[in-house]
Amino acid sequence: MKDKPNLTLVAPFRDLCKMGGLMILICMVVSWMFIHRWSQRNKKGPKTWPFFGAAIEQLMNYDRMHDWLVNYLSKSKTIVVPMPFTTYTYIADPANVEHVLKTNFNNYPKGEVYHSYMEVLLGDGIFNVDGESWKKQRKTASLEFASRNLRDFSTKVFKEYALKLSTILSQVSFLNQEIDMQELLMRMTLDSICKVGFGVEIGTLAPNLPENSFAHAFDTANIIVTLRFIDPLWKIKKMLSIGSEAQLGKSIKVIDDFTYSVIRRRKAEIEDIKKSGQQNQMKQDILSRFIELGERNATDKSLRDVVLNFVIAGRDTTATTLSWAIYMVMTHAHVADKLYLELKKFEENRAKEENISFPQCDKEDPESFNRRVEQFSRLLNKDSLEKLHYLHAVITETLRLYPAVPQDPKGILEDDELPDGTKIKAGGMVTYVPYSMGRMEYNWGPDAASFVPERWYRDGVLKTESPFKFTAFQAGPRICLGKDSAYLQMRMVLAILFRFYKFNLVPGHMVKYRMMTILSMAYGLKLTIERRS
């Protein structure tokens, strides 16, 4: 009879083997990861991990991602960033940007990935679609932006709300209060773009600064859809309706309820006007024009997408640029002085041309001061504002360093090779980075990081740069249709503000950007205000 095995010895031996196997597996994984990291010691872009790619480093630097990219792009004009389910290629070389935005334009659409991230907010609007849908909307929009009726209507609206803003600033200055300038500018641009876009007065810039559910929901939605770009779990959170995606759903409902109610009301108004035969009573806002010009059979959903795309383009971008411009001017005293002198001289020359005699402004009397601001505003129109060359340079230099859209990703349909030799694969994303491009010495010289409005002059004449180098308004077939309108509003507002006010940053207030699709300030822009005569 054979002896039975001694189980008291076998069991520990078996457990030891299991532990040994586990240790070998762990050592193999650690070694693999070490070899993977060692193989990247000369890599120009961010280092990656197996499975996770560069997602860990991106998440760790999320709140400062634009400067994170500046660091890498200053060393290499193109960096490749692998992610768990895709690859991002970031470019800052104008030659590569031209290739993507113009030369091989059809290979770099917005793409399905970008569309899926932004669809809940932008739907199938002009900034979120490709192909025939984009071409159709672009054609209609380009006709409208070239329309004198829309330009005149916009000019009137921009001046109206710039004066409302001035009235609030005047009151704040007389009461020696602190204000958040970015919040006021967001209110002003929301009111003005809703007037131009919807034809409605929503009143967020009223003197008592009322809360507005549409504005709050719009900001919340913007922040959350931006987070989707680096959040691999957003689809799961959306499916389960939890976390940020649950909050996003609530915000979109508020946005849609407001937008659809305006659309239905406007359609009914247009029908009533047609029945009465009073076509001259037709409103000139963008929604009305899209209903009228080739969009009579458009669904409420398509009209909703059209208008919200213009709201996000005309509200956030303008308000943030104005905020950064004020911050840049107030922190560069010589720029503030030069700009004030240009506006004073402009006022004197225009008054002579118009044969107007302005009474002396009593800056200690609120009524006198506000009346003087209103009188100055009468000198401002599209043509006269274009004569303010230094103001234009200040705005343009602000956009170079603080572009409203700091990153702009594109999809990749087919494998391609960029002019610098970088090979990119279909299915990934390529992103040109205006924020980084404006800070690159290889684009702008050794003073690239400095705020120098004078760089936009050559022999006393305003100069222009290639849109593939100065990319604040994109370039190629998708170049921004609202560029002239944006400059018009920014000139109008800043001409009034810098002529009659001096701004001072509240001591200790931190100014930094917030990660959104638009380059807004994370903590606002807290200021005190002094009046100028």
Is pLDDT at 417 greater than 90 in this prediction?
Answer: yes
What are the residue boundaries of the structural domains of the chain, listed by start? 39-107+404-451, 108-403+472-531
Q: How far, in Å, CA of 183 to CA of 206, rounded? A: 13
For 238-279, what is each residue's pLDDT tens digit?
A: 999 999 999 999 999 999 999 999 888 888 888 888 888 776
Most confident of 172-176, 223-227, 398-402: 398-402
Is pLDDT at 103 greater than 70 in this prediction?
Answer: yes
Q: How far, in Å, CA of 222 to CA of 316, rounded? A: 10
- pTM of the prediction? 0.85
480 is in an annotated binding site: yes
Is pLDDT at 398 greater than 90 in this prediction?
Answer: yes
Q: pLDDT confidence of 386, banded at 50, 70, 90?
A: very high
Q: Tell how far CA 467 is from the center of its chain.
A: 17
* CB neighbour list of residue 317: distance below 8 Å, 6 or more residues apart: 404, 405, 486, 518
Tokens 């004009």 belong to 77
Mean of pLDDT values over 346-371: 82
For 287-321, what is each residue's pLDDT tens digit?
A: 887 887 655 567 889 889 988 888 888 888 999 99
Amino acid at 436: S
> 321, 395 in Cβ contact below 8 A?
yes
Tokens 């030799």 belong to 421
> 312, 126 in Cβ contact below 8 A?
no
For 499-527, what is each residue's pLDDT tens digit?
A: 999 999 999 999 999 887 889 999 999 99
According to the model, what pLDDT value does residue 143 have?
80
Q: How far, in Å, CA of 325 to CA of 53, rounded? A: 37
Q: Which CATH code, of 3.40.605.10, 3.30.43.20, 3.40.50.1100, 3.30.450.20, is assigned to 39-107+404-451?
A: 3.30.43.20
Q: In this structure, which topology does domain 108-403+472-531 adopt according to CATH?
A: Cytochrome p450 (1.10.630)
Query: Alpha-carbon torsion 434, 413, 312, 248, what sign?
Result: negative
* Burial profile 371-386: b = 16 or more Cβ within 10 angstroms, e = fewer: ebbeebbebbebebbe
For 188-197, what is each residue's pLDDT tens digit?
A: 999 998 888 8
For 148-185, what is each residue's pLDDT tens digit?
A: 888 888 999 999 999 999 999 999 999 999 999 999 99
According to the model, what pLDDT value does residue 3 have?
56
Instruction: Judge whether 39-107+404-451 and 108-403+472-531 match in fold.
Output: no
